[in-house]
Amino acid sequence: MLKKIKLLLELQELDLVLKEAKIVHGKWIDSKSVSDKISKIRERVDKQTLSRYDRLIKQGLSVVQFRNGMCLGCNLSIPIGDINRMTVGSMAPICTNCGKFIDL
Ligand SMILES: [Zn+2]
């Protein structure tokens, strides 16, 4: 699952690059290489995770950082027990407050 978060993080960065290019240039620039990279990453992520990712990215970030026991998506603390379970993989690394993926 933590490997999956790295993939999602990579995907998010590319999605943001495209989004920014659209804002700066007012239209889609020639971003075939970025789109190709996005497709390749999406192929490696399961459907359920992708649909959650897509839903979240529309409202901002989908994968957020975790620091000092806090999710930086919602600035609320996550119980240490949950963090331990996420680290060992028995629990999905998803914030129990805001539902975003957490990059542990
Ligand atoms: Zn959160």
Question: What are the structure tokens assigned to 19, written together?
Answer: 């989004």
Q: Examine the pLDDT at 1 and tell me if it is beyond 70.
A: no
Fold of 2-103: Helix Hairpins (1.10.287)
Question: What is the end-to-end Cα distance of the chain in Å, rounded?
Answer: 11
Whole-angstrom Cα distance, residue 78 to residue 8?
Answer: 21
Distance 87 CA to ligand 1 centre (A): 16
Q: In the numeric block, which tokens belong to residue 10? A: 């990579």
| pTM: predicted TM-score of the whole model, two decimal places | 0.85
Q: At what angle do helices 2-25 and 47-57 cross, to 10 degrees?
A: 40
Locate the domains of the chain by residue range: 2-103
Q: Are 12 and 45 in contact (CB under 8 A)?
A: no
Residue of 74, 90, 93, 71 lying closest to 7 (CA atoms): 93
CA 76 to ligand 1 center in whole angstroms: 6
Residues, CB-to-ion distance under 5 Å, ligand 1: 71, 73-74, 95, 97-98
Is residue 11 left, alpha or beta, with left meaning phi > 0 and alpha meaning psi from -120 to 50?
alpha
The mean per-residue pLDDT over the stretch 23-49 comes to 85
Locate 38 and state its tokens.
């996005």
Q: What is the pLDDT of residues 46-84, one digit of tens each?
A: 999 999 999 999 999 999 999 999 999 999 999 999 999
Beta strands at 63-67 and 70-71: parallel, antiparallel or unpaired: antiparallel
